[in-house]
């Protein structure tokens, strides 16, 4: 009897152990896969996408606010590999409650070479763009849960743009994009561009652009997903050349632009580093104000410091007033030193960032730009300050002071005090 019970017990234990080993392996594999899926989900969310089976919903179109549109809301997205690995669609539709107007983009592309990640893209866009802003074609994705500069921008121009572009990767560290586009431009403010005894209230632009992004010190690895970035190296270089062509169909002006950016990071350890960003732009020829440069100002024109209290940008001049300066040639240098976070508790670690910003520029033929008043940066613009980030729920405080060639008579007018907002997934 005892032998029988022992045999039964031994058999049950053996079966239990045998049955649990595969389950243990399955559970381990399941946990690992769940962890990978969670990490990929958070990565997509950090990039501003909510992934679904065939479509990544673009979160940046959900809700915005600016001085011209007021509340701007809508929906956009792009197809993912679940839809197709060779074809993609990316579009959006938004509505401004203050200007009572829909804006949209219809776009898509198809891949012609997998090894070089070569895509041909087509798009039709009817939207607004900030006057004086400059973007690189290779900056495919910029997303922030909160974009503070948008709140106070009031100088926009409408554009209807048709474009065709080619993306091509020469190597893992060198990517490019070439675009040909035609645009119908109409400023939303009272502006006229006077050239050759003609005054333009709206105009057409035909342009060809070539952008190169070179990250020579990035390291990558080949895995089942292709080539993945392992370590982000510095410095990074971006160059863009643009030629606008005058023609009888869709081009009113000839002008040439070159834009350059270099980002360098001096790393002392994993918590302490200094980041320097150098940007420059040059426009030659008959260039309207819409396609010239500002230096990313972020200060509203109000009388007191408290009335100007808003949210600091990421790479903007906090003491420079909106629409105060425009240039056809400029250079900026921004230096940020990130101090080791203060360890108050294991989870509560505010961080001090020391900031110095400088800009210089100029403009020829200012008289061409009518019905708008602005200054140039010929004297050199400087500001210095600091941020104390992540004080509460991602919010912090920022202080900056304006000095140098454009120092203002009143102390308060040179000072900017604002919130900061930093969230890391």
Q: What is the pLDDT of residues 79-99, one digit of tens each?
A: 999 999 999 999 999 999 999
336 has a pLDDT exceeding 80: yes
The model's pLDDT over 142-159, given as tens digits with 9 standing for 90+, comes to: 555 556 678 888 899 999
249, burial (CB in 10 Å: exposed 0-12, middle 13-18, buried 19+)? exposed
Could you tell me the two tokens for 296?
């990313």
pLDDT of residue 59: 87
Higher pLDDT, 420 or 159: 159
pLDDT of residue 14: 40
The rounded mean pLDDT for the chain is 88
Confidence bin at 424 (pLDDT 50/70/90): low
How far is the C-alpha of 357 from the C-alpha of 310, rounded, in Å? Answer: 19
- Residue ranges covered by each domain of the chain: 115-421
Could you tell me the two tokens for 96?
């401004």
Does residue 404 come out as left (phi exceeding 0), alpha (psi in the -120 to 50 range) or beta?
left
- Indicate the CATH number for domain 115-421: 2.40.160
First to last CA, the chain: 62
pLDDT of residue 324: 96
How far is the C-alpha of 290 from the C-alpha of 189, rounded, in Å? Answer: 11
pLDDT of residue 210: 98
How far is the C-alpha of 243 from the C-alpha of 61, rounded, in Å? Answer: 30
Angle, alpha carbons 125-255-202 (nearest 5°): 50
Greatest CA separation for the chain: 115
Higher pLDDT, 14 or 399: 399
The model's pLDDT over 269-285, given as tens digits with 9 standing for 90+, comes to: 888 999 999 999 999 99
Task: Confirm if 199 and 154 have CB atoms less than 8 A apart.
Answer: no
Task: Confirm if 285 and 256 have CB atoms less than 8 A apart.
Answer: yes
How far is the C-alpha of 311 from the C-alpha of 309, rounded, in Å? Answer: 7
Does residue 394 come out as left (phi exceeding 0), alpha (psi in the -120 to 50 range) or beta?
left
The model's pLDDT over 340-389, given as tens digits with 9 standing for 90+, comes to: 999 899 889 999 999 999 999 999 999 999 999 999 999 999 999 999 99
Could you tell me the two tokens for 161?
């743009």
**Residues, the chain, total?**
425
Confidence bin at 129 (pLDDT 50/70/90): very high
């Amino acid at each position: 009897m005892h032998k029988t019970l022992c045999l039964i017990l031994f058999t049950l234990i053996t079966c239990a152990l045998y049955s649990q080993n595969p389950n243990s392996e399955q559970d381990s594999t399941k946990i690992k896969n769940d962890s990978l899926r969670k990490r990929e989900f958070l990565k997509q969310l950090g990039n501003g996408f909510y992934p679904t089976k065939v479509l990544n919903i673009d979160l940046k179109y959900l809700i915005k606010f600016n001085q011209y549109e007021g509340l701007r809301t809508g929906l956009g997205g792009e197809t993912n590999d679940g839809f197709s690995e060779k074809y993609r669609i990316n579009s959006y539709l938004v509505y401004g409650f203050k200007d009572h107007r829909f804006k949209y983009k219809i776009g898509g592309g198809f891949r012609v070479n997998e090894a070089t990640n070569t895509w041909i893209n087509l798009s039709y866009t009817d939207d607004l763009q900030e006057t004086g802003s400059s973007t690189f074609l290779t900056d495919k994705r910029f997303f922030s849960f909160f974009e503070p500069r948008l709140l106070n921008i009031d100088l926009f121009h409408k554009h209807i743009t048709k474009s065709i572009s080619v993306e091509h990767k020469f190597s893992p560290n060198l990517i490019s994009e070439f675009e040909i586009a035609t645009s119908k431009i109409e400023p939303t403010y009272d502006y006229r561009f006077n050239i050759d005894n003609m005054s333009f209230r709206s105009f057409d632009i035909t342009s060809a652009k070539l952008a190169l992004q070179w990250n020579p010190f990035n390291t990558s690895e080949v895995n089942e997903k292709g080539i993945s970035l392992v370590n982000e190296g510095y410095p990074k270089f971006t160059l863009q050349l643009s030629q606008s062509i005058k023609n009888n169909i869709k081009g009113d002006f000839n002008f040439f632009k070159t834009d350059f950016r270099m980002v360098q990071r001096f790393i002392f350890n994993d918590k302490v580093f200094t980041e320097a960003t150098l940007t420059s732009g040059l426009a030659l020829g008959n260039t309207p104000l819409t396609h010239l440069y500002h230096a990313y100002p972020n200060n509203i024109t109000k009388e007191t410091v408290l009335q100007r209290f808003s949210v600091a940008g990421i790479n903007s001049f906090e003491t420079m007033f909106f629409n105060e300066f425009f240039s056809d040639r400029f250079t900026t240098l921004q230096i940020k030193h990130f101090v080791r976070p203060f360890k108050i508790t294991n989870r509560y670690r505010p961080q001090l960032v020391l900031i110095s910003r400088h800009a210089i520029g100029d403009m020829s033929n200012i008289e061409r730009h009518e019905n708008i008043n602005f200054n140039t940066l010929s004297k050199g613009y400087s500001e210095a300050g600091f941020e104390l980030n992540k004080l509460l729920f991602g919010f912090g405080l920022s202080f900056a002071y304006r000095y140098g060639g454009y120092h203002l008579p009143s102390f308060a007018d040179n000072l900017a005090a604002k919130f900061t907002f930093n969230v890391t997934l």
